[in-house]
Amino acid sequence: MPGPIDSYTKALAAYGKLAGGEPAAGKLAEPAGRSSFAEMLKDVAGEALHAGRSAEAASVAAASGHGDLSAVVTAVSEAEMTLQTVVAVRERVIDAYKEILRMPI
């Protein structure tokens, strides 16, 4: 049995490995023009990284005297909200994974 998935990057890699294989018989095909679950997770992770980097850049600019304090507060608040969202989604995924493990075979 594989070990626990302890980071979202490992989860994305595991999902990508599964999604990259041949579709199983009876499996529904993904509709054309729609992105996969792995691509959606990748986009969300990228947005979270962008929010963190913009908050960090605004903080550095304010510390050096070139930034606006209200921009720093706004950027840090956005980064905090993004982090809380990512943590909440991670917790839901972990709960779903645990529930699947508890299912009888």
**pTM score > 0.85 for this model?**
no
CA 38 to chain centre: 9
Per-residue pLDDT tens over the stretch 57-101: 888 888 888 878 888 888 888 888 888 888 888 899 899 999 999
CA 18 to chain centre: 18
Res. 1 pLDDT band, cuts 50 70 90: very low
Res. 23 pLDDT band, cuts 50 70 90: very low
